[in-house]
Chain A
């Protein structure tokens, strides 16, 4: 879960009243509060309930940023900014943009699961403390962030009664404490008629005590009631722990208790379920059934077997089902990852994960202007943590320990280890070739996502991954050329125009030299928009002609469509509104009247609307176009595009004699602009491109 915090609370939350009181006090006293506790102890749920209870003190809301799926600390500011809805469409760092946005906000920022990003989280929290006086950070972690001003709040297991026998409370109700209540709640979910009775309460208490009151361990055990009677469940648990401790009670440290409970769940799984559990650990966050089948299945475990195993894992609460998606809790996923690493299947499984997301990205790139563009985009957006994971796996360094296994996997189509020995290549060259293949997949993924980076506004993150591609391909070649022109394209929309032009020109020249016609054509196209933003309109027009001829020659219809939109923009900025409108109409005609393509269409509406504003007597057409642009950009969630349309409607309202409406609308870009850099610098850098943002704050920007 990530985003603005739900205010309706948690109906199945058990106990923790003392902790919640303590955290509320800590939040009142400190700007950085870290809830510290072992994996599986329930830190996240405690944080969410504490945040819900404190919500009234934060008018700009509690926001939760789920970090367990993020492994690269460099992307922490981007991740937080993304949750807050800040586009990366300017040249500032994501951290600067984030701090600028937070500076006058009063909100609670929940950083959930920080232990693998301690330094980055501490640095971010310190910057927030320094720059954003109205923001409080609530972190959850297995370790403190270890920073000045941090208030750590330990969360332990749920209390378990010392005695096995409990007095019956009023109305025959048995009050067994928080751990027993949690067990009963989860057991009732697994076995509908389950209830605590005078007969079973002692065994329940023993189970909870055996599991040290660890919530995740209790939840995993409770669902076993589907297949085991309570007494047998207790006997098996006791046996499992007695073997480990040599019969000494309480001999296991708490984290070992949870691990033992997870191992026990693992033992109760079928062989296929264990293999799928391990393989699913390559997913970052939620995954679909289709993805699970594609990544987990191979010759010895076919797709139907994967589905059956997944159903079994859901029954055992190892995998959680959320609508059409599935996910694993961190501790459970970590256990699976250990099993996968020791199985020798890690590299092959990651390779299938990479291949799945490369195929998805490649389709999106090649069918960018198709009718299902937005369905595909939303599908990718939902999968963002896994796109990141695939990029990380693919672009890891050559020294990555999984590489030799990938080498072996790629050389053993029939599973024969002899094939590795048969190859004439040395082990070193094999490793290099396999790393090269993996990096090529990473380059394909990062470059095929060009439209995704733009629509999502994740220009900074797209540039980050393309820079990684360039690090992996330092010598001239197809991947380097393609990454350069794509990075230049993203940089141009961030307003980093000098570097954008350098990238576009270098990539285009390289592509020309090596004879890569497709990348050359796109390189000219990207150079054209950069020159337009630089205000070099005559050069931009010449490059547009070159780009169009080359795009047409290699049959790149999507590139040509994009170029037409860029040409409309060029004419509008160059003071040729009639030409701009004509080119936009040409683009819309190329898309066709029934097209459901959204990105380019709405861009054309906006450009055309602004050009029509400049044409006397075309006010009605101007409003029609800008309203269509606004509606489409809203559908896309493109707040920069929305800002263009709203601002244009504001000019039009004033022009057509509605000054009050104009005032209302003219604030729109300021409200949107609070999520991005002030207008002045960007406006100058873009050579007159309308500032999609604007001055910050409520004061009008005159």
Chain B
């Protein structure tokens, strides 16, 4: 299934361009990372995906 991930990465980057892709990617990563930090060791997490 790694290929599903890689195919999606390549297709999305091609569709919106490298710069936009990187910006969206960074925003998503920062959001998830902050939520994981806030929820570490506490069990339940709340992640509202767009």
- A→B interface (CB under 8 Å): 2-4, 60-61, 82-85, 378, 381, 573, 610, 613, 630, 634-637, 639, 642, 646-647, 649-651, 653-655, 659-672, 674-675, 679, 683, 688-691, 694, 698, 700-702
Which chain B residue lies CB-closest to A610?
B1
Q: A84-B41, A654-B12 are in contact. Are A666 and B28 (CB under 8 A)?
A: yes
Q: A651-B5, A655-B8, A666-B8 are in contact. Are A61 and B24 (CB under 8 A)?
A: no
Contact at B8–A2, with CB atoms within 8 Å? no
Which chain A residue lies CB-closest to B5?
A647
Contact at B22–A637, with CB atoms within 8 Å? no
Q: A660-B16, A663-B13, A698-B29 are in contact. Are A669 and B43 (CB under 8 A)?
A: no
Residues of A within 8 A of B13 (CB): 659, 663, 700, 702
Q: How far is the CB of A268 from chain B (nearest CB, A)?
A: 38
Q: Which of B1-50 contact A (CB under 8 A)?
A: 1-2, 4-13, 15-16, 20-22, 24-33, 36-47, 49-50
Residues of A within 8 A of B6 (CB): 702
Contact at A664–B38, with CB atoms within 8 Å? no
Q: A610-B1, A637-B45 are in contact. Are A671 and B36 (CB under 8 A)?
A: yes
Q: How far is the CB of A654 from chain B (nearest CB, A)?
A: 4
Residues of B within 8 A of A613 (CB): 4
Contact at A701–B50, with CB atoms within 8 Å? no
One of A61, A637, A667, A669 near B39 (C-beta < 8 A): A637
* Cα–Cα distance between A233 and B43 once the two chains are bound (Å): 46
Q: A3-B40, A4-B38, A690-B2 are in contact. Are A664 and B50 (CB under 8 A)?
A: yes
One of A378, A660, A667, A702 near B29 (C-beta < 8 A): A667
Which chain A residue lies CB-closest to B15?
A659
Contact at A60–B37, with CB atoms within 8 Å? yes
Residues of A within 8 A of B2 (CB): 679, 683, 688, 690-691
Contact at B40–A660, with CB atoms within 8 Å? no
One of A3, A636, A671, A688 near B28 (C-beta < 8 A): A671
One of A84, A642, A667, A702 near B10 (C-beta < 8 A): A702
Contact at A636–B44, with CB atoms within 8 Å? yes
* Cα–Cα distance between A111 and B4 once the two chains are bound (Å): 42
* Cα–Cα distance between A663 and B27 once the two chains are bound (Å): 9
Residues of A within 8 A of B1 (CB): 573, 610, 688-690
Chief secondary structure at chain A's binding surface? helix
* Cα–Cα distance between A646 and B26 once the two chains are bound (Å): 15
* Cα–Cα distance between A135 and B8 once the two chains are bound (Å): 35
Q: How far is the CB of A353 from chain B (nearest CB, A)?
A: 24
Q: A646-B32, A659-B16, A700-B22 are in contact. Are A654 and B8 (CB under 8 A)?
A: yes
Q: How far is the CB of A375 from chain B (nearest CB, A)?
A: 12
Q: How far is the CB of B3 from chain A (nearest CB, A)?
A: 9
Residues of A within 8 A of B45 (CB): 634, 637, 639, 642
Residues of A within 8 A of B42 (CB): 3, 637
Contact at B37–A85, with CB atoms within 8 Å? yes
* Cα–Cα distance between A637 and B6 once the two chains are bound (Å): 26
**Sample of 10 more A-B contacts, CB < 8 Å, known A3-B41, A660-B24, A663-B21:** A4-B37, A634-B47, A663-B12, A663-B20, A667-B24, A667-B26, A671-B32, A689-B1, A690-B2, A701-B9
Contact at A630–B47, with CB atoms within 8 Å? yes
Contact at A639–B36, with CB atoms within 8 Å? yes
Residues of A within 8 A of B4 (CB): 613, 651, 690
Residues of B within 8 A of A630 (CB): 47, 49
Residues of A within 8 A of B9 (CB): 666, 700-702
Contact at B26–A649, with CB atoms within 8 Å? no
25 A-B pairs whose Cβ atoms sit less than 8 Å apart in the complex: A4-B38, A83-B41, A84-B41, A381-B43, A639-B36, A651-B8, A653-B12, A654-B12, A659-B21, A661-B50, A663-B13, A663-B24, A664-B28, A666-B9, A666-B25, A667-B24, A669-B5, A670-B29, A671-B29, A671-B31, A683-B2, A688-B1, A698-B26, A700-B22, A702-B10
Contact at A662–B36, with CB atoms within 8 Å? no
